[in-house]
């Protein structure tokens, strides 16, 4: 007994929707983890602990850049670049020389002893050779004024030449400055003057050339860029690795070119990838449940799962070294936007992008670029009217232009920080442009397959369904013209009302066109078709119960036709729900009159249902009854139309037919006013012509030509008169 209960409990758990959902969740997250991590296992088969486990032979010609050798050469070239110098402000050097001259003259003129003057002059000169210092001091102290003046003039001329040439930090080093000064003497000087001028200038000269850091950096960068990358070529058949050989960076790059993933991931790494994927999947599901309830959850989640696995598989199969900017993320968001909405699609694509960026170690510039590209794709798709599938090519074109701008700008910003090959920038920009158009083509090709596989209808599919050349609609025109005309009027009402309350007008129109196709089975039993074929109402001769069965069965017959013609489930819902479980009141009242209320059960005369579940189906229920009721009136006034609409809505509310739909009282008020406006337009008054119209027409034929001829003659005479006046 206990075992039986356990088995029943186990069967109950495994058959529950929560259990199936959990299984699908685990299956999807495990599959995503396996796909993203799959590349990481190839490297482990070749290398262990940095040592090659076997020989690896190149299956194609591989060109690898030896980054170490290239960097070493670049550093050597860069180190040989001399700093770029620029002239600084040098007037203060001339001022210092003038100050030194004035100080010497002041000391010479002082009324002090000779020894005191020598001491004061000695302080002005920083000369390590004491004998030379004493010589200079004595010369400046004892020479006559003319000789002193001549020495300073020579010093000033020499300083001017020096400053014009430029004085660097290196020039002011010990020994270099004396040679530099003597090299720029203005005139031939005597030995005494040579010594004194040199001593004077040594005290005031400082470098007037400083390093221009920006220009120096540019020069070094240009020197680095002039060094071409050092390439190592492995021809087809060459050994990339020998067994037991340490795997250097060069060999790792060669292995990457050969198609090996170099991420040495362990169990903890795989677990981390799985947790991240599970977390992002949970975020998407929670967002879907809280904010996007109106979209079918199972279908959306299935489409997201399939597309995610598809994009992930393409990502890991992409040849190493090939641009990741070709990955069809825009196709992912375009397809999801069409099957759900652009907001949900953007979130799903963003989470997938995060998963792949983390698992495959794409650069930060990749995710930044694609976030902006996907945002533009989301905005562009949301603006589409879904009238033509070719509109998706326009989306692809906008994505291409966005990709070109975004990728180029991101790379140009990075180029200020690091050295990026221009070829790489051009390659990725072109790949992004191709990606936009390619994604649009992929979306166009994949959409019909998804529609068929998951039995869902896109706005494009709905737009095709409302084409009046569709087989079922053509049959309705020929076999049940009254029903067809009724469906057209109802579809106009539904489309306008749906747009007014923020529902989907395309779905509402399509559902309304097909809601009565079940009447094709017995078209003559429906009053709107009887006048077209000139027959009497057959229900006058039938038992109300039989009539009720025929009328109510048009929903079941409609479902059979819908399945035969492969109409999507969303249209089938309209066929089933447009009467809800409402009462066929006409036949119920007849049955009560004929058999008595005590012998008739109301449930026998109700439609099988279900009640409308969506706003669009509820609008159809009201529009269907409203159009039929107003058609039964002869030249109704605006007040009568409003009364009919209000009566029908009130009856449906009181009967509980709108209890399962998300319509609000505000929506119902908007629907009523929209119906009233549309129906008044349908019921506009026409000119009432006289009974003797034929006589009036004949009279007009006789009068009009004379009137026209007279007016034409007057016009010609007026023109001739104007011409004569102008000539005069």
What is the three-state SS of 293-307? CCCCHHHHHHHHHHH
Q: Does the pLDDT of residue 692 top 70, yes or no?
A: no
Phi, psi (deg, nearest 5) at residue 314: -60, -40
Tokens read off for 698:
């004949």
CA distance 7 to 2: 9
Contact status, residue 241 vs residue 251, Cβ threshold 8 Å: yes
Determine which of 51-60, 270-279, 332-341, 650-659 has the lowest per-residue pLDDT on average.
51-60
pLDDT score recorded for residue 660:
92
**Rg of the Cα trace of the chain?**
47
φ/ψ of 407, rounded to 5, equals -65, -45
**CB neighbour list of residue 222: distance below 8 Å, 6 or more residues apart:** none
Question: Tokens in use for 550?
Answer: 């025929």
- Closest listed residue to residue 148, CA positions, set 186, 181, 104: 104
Strand partners, 86: 210
Which of the four pLDDT bands, split at 50, 70 and 90, describes residue 456? Answer: confident
What average pLDDT does the segment 657-664 reach? 93
Strands 85-87 and 51-52: unpaired
Is the pTM for the entire model greater than 0.75?
no
Residue 2 has what pLDDT? 47
Task: Return the pLDDT at 214.
Answer: 80
Cα atoms found within 13 Å of the Cα of residue 221, Cβ hemisphere only: 12
DSSP 240: E
Closest CA to 211 of 154, 166, 247: 166
Q: What are phi and psi of 172, to 5 degrees?
A: -85, 0
N residues, the chain? 728
Yes or no: say if 371 and 488 are a contact pair by the CB < 8 Å rule: no
Identify the burial level of 342 via C-beta atoms within 10 angstroms of its C-beta, where 0-12 means exposed, 13-18 middle and 19 or more buried. buried
Question: For residue 352, is pLDDT > 60?
Answer: yes
pLDDT higher than threshold 80 for residue 658: yes
6 band by pLDDT with thresholds 50, 70 and 90: low
Q: 348 by DSSP, 3-state: which?
A: helix
For residue 120, what are the CA distances in angstroms to 156, 508, 577?
Answer: 23, 109, 117
Indicate the range of 415-429, 478-492, 687-701 predicted with least confidence.
687-701
pLDDT of 560 over the 70 cut:
yes
Q: Which residues pair with 211 in a beta bridge?
A: 85
Tell me the pLDDT of the chain averaged across its residues: 80
Burial of 194: CB neighbours in 10 Å, binned 0-12, 13-18, 19+ = middle
pLDDT digits (tens, 9 = 90+) for 293-318: 655 666 777 788 888 888 887 877 77
Of the pLDDT bands very low, low, confident and very high (cuts 50, 70, 90), residue 390 is confident
Average pLDDT value for residue range 46-70: 75
For the four alpha carbons of 718, 723, 726 and 728, in that order, the dihedral sign comes to negative
| Mean pLDDT along residues 671-677 | 95
What residues does 209 pair with on adjacent strands? 87
Instruction: Name the percent of the chain lying above pLDDT 70.
Output: 81
- 83, exposed or middle or buried, with CB in 10 Å at 0-12, 13-18, 19+? middle
Write out pLDDT tens, residues 18-39: 788 888 889 889 888 888 777 6
Give 78's contacts (C-beta < 8 A, 6+ positions apart): 220, 223, 224
Residue 671 has pLDDT above 50, yes or no: yes
Which candidate, 329, 327, 321, places its Cα nearest to that of 421?
321
Name the residue among 489, 494, 493, 484 with its Cα closest to residue 514: 484
DSSP 121-149: HHHT---S-HHHHHHHHHHHHHS-HHHHH
3-state secondary structure of 76: helix
Q: What is the pLDDT of residues 187-196, one digit of tens each?
A: 566 777 777 7
Please give the pLDDT value at position 712: 45
Query: Is the pLDDT reported for residue 711 higher than 70?
Result: no
Tokens of 669: 């008020």
Residue 228's H or E segment, with its range, is none
Backbone angles phi, psi at 293, to 5 degrees: -70, -25
Please give the structure tokens belonging to residue 718.
């007026």
DSSP element (H, E) containing 87: strand 85-87
Distance CA 432, CA 397 (A): 11
Share of the chain above pLDDT 90, in %: 26
Tell me what pLDDT residue 471 has: 92
Tokens linked to 166: 């430029």
Q: What is the pLDDT of residues 220-269, one digit of tens each?
A: 888 887 888 878 888 877 888 887 788 777 777 777 666 665 555 567 77
Question: How far is the first Cα of the chain from the last one, in angstroms, to the nearest whole number?
Answer: 125
Q: How far, in Å, CA of 488 to CA of 510, rounded?
A: 10
Domain at 479-682, CATH class: mainly alpha
Q: How far apart are CA 274 and CA 35, in angstroms?
A: 11
Measured CA to CA in angstroms, residue 94 lies from 98, 159, 503 at distances of 6, 8, 87
> For the segment 496-555, what is each residue's pLDDT rounded down to a tens digit?
999 999 898 989 999 999 999 999 999 999 988 888 777 888 888 888 888 889 899 999
Distance separating alpha carbons of residues 566 and 461, to the nearest angstrom: 12
Q: Which of 217, 156, 204 is nearest to 177 (CA)?
A: 204
Lookup result for tokens 């306008």: 496
Question: Which tokens sit at 44?
Answer: 């482990």
Of the candidates 432, 430, 441, which has an alpha carbon nearest to the alpha carbon of residue 395?
Answer: 441
List Cα–Cα distances, 597 to 336, 421, 590, 700, in angstroms: 55, 91, 10, 64
| DSSP string for residues in 144-209 | -HHHHHHHHHHHHHHHHHHHHH---TTTTSTTHHHHHHHHT-SS---HHHHHHHHHHHHHH----E
Query: Residue 610, preceding bond cis, omega within 30 degrees?
Result: yes
Q: Please, is 356 exposed, middle or buried when counting C-beta atoms within 10 Å of its C-beta (0-12, 13-18, 19+)?
A: buried
pLDDT at 447 over 80: yes
Q: What would the two tokens of residue 24 be?
A: 């699908």
**Neighbouring residues of 268: CB distance < 8 A, sequence distance ≥ 6:** none
């Amino acid at each position: 007994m206990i075992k039986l209960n356990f088995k029943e409990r186990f069967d109950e758990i495994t058959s529950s929707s929560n259990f199936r959902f959990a299984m699908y969740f685990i299956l999807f997250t495990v599959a995503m983890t396996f796909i993203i991590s799959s590349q990481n296992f190839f490297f482990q088969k070749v290398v262990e602990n940095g040592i090659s486990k076997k020989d690896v032979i190149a299956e194609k010609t591989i060109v690898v850049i030896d980054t170490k050798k290239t960097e070493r050469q670049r550093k050597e070239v860069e180190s040989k670049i001399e700093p770029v110098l620029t002239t600084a402000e040098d007037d203060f050097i001339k001022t210092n020389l003038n100050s030194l001259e004035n100080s010497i003259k002041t000391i010479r003129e002082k009324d002090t002893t000779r020894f005191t003057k020598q001491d004061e002059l000695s302080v002005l000169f920083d000369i390590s050779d004491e004998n030379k210092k004493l010589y200079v001091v004595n010369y400046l102290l004892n020479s006559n004024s003319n000789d002193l003046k001549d020495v300073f003039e020579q010093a000033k001329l020499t300083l001017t030449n020096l400053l014009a040439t430029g004085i660097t930090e290196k020039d002011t080093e010990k020994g270099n400055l004396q040679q530099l000064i003597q090299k720029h003497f203005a005139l031939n000087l005597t030995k005494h003057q040579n010594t004194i001028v040199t001593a004077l200038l040594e005290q005031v000269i400082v470098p007037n050339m400083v390093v221009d850091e920006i220009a120096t950096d540019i020069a070094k960068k240009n020197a680095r860029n002039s060094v071409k990358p050092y390439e190592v070529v492995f021809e087809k058949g060459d050994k990339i690795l020998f067994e037991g050989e340490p795997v250097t960076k060069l060999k790792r790059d060669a292995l990457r070119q050969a198609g090996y993933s170099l991420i040495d991931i362990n169990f903890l790494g795989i677990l981390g990838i799985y947790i991240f994927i599970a977390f992002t999947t949970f975020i998407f599901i929670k967002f879907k449940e809280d904010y996007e309830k109106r979209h079918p959850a199972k279908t959306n989640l299935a489409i997201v799962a399939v597309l995610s696995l598809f994009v992930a598989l393409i990502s890991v199969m992409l040849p190493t070294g090939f641009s990741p900017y070709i990955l069809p993320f825009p196709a992912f968001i375009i397809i999801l936007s069409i099957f759900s909405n652009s907001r949900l699609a953007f979130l799903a694509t963003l989470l997938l992008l995060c998963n792949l960026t983390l698992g495959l170690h794409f650069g930060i510039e990749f995710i930044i670029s694609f976030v902006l590209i996907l945002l533009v794709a989301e905005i562009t798709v949301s603006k589409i009217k879904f009238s033509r599938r070719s509109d998706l090519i326009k989306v692809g074109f906008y994505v291409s232009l966005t990709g070109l701008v975004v990728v180029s700008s991101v790379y140009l910003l990075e180029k200020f920080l690091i050295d990026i090959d221009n070829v790489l920038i051009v390659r990725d920009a072109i790949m992004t442009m191709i990606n936009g158009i390619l994604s649009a083509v992929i979306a166009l090709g994949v959409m019909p397959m998804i529609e068929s596989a998951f039995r869902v209808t896109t706005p494009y599919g709905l737009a095709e369904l409302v084409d009046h050349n569709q087989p079922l609609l053509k049959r309705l025109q020929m076999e049940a013209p009254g029903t067809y005309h009724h469906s057209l009027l109802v579809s106009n009402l539904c489309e306008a009302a749906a747009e007014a309350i923020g529902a989907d007008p395309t779905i509402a129109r399509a559902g309304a066109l097909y809601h009565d196709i079940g009447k094709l089975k017995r078209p003559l039993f429906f009053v709107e078709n009887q006048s077209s074929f000139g027959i009497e109402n057959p229900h006058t001769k039938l038992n109300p119960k039989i009539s009720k069965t025929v009328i109510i069965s048009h929903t079941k017959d409609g479902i059979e036709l819908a399945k035969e013609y492969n109409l999507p489930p969303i249209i089938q819902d309209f066929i089933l729900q447009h009467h809800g479980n409402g009462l066929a009141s006409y036949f119920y009242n007849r049955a009560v009159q004929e058999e008595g209320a005590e012998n008739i059960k109301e449930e026998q005369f109700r439609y099988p249902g279900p009640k409308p579940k969506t706003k669009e189906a509820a609008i159809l229920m009201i529009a269907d009854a409203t159009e039929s009721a107003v058609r039964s009136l002869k030249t109704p006034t605006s007040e009568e139309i409003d009364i009919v609409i209000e009566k029908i809505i009130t009856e449906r509310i009181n009967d509980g037919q709108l209890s399962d739909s998300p319509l609000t009282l505000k929506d119902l008020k908007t629907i009523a006013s929209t119906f009233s406006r549309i129906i008044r337009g349908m019921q506009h008054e026409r000119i009432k012509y006289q009974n003797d119209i034929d006589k009036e027409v004949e009279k007009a034929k006789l009068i009009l030509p004379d009137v026209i001829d007279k007016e034409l003659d007057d016009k010609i005479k007026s023109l001739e008169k104007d011409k004569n006046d102008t000539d005069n």
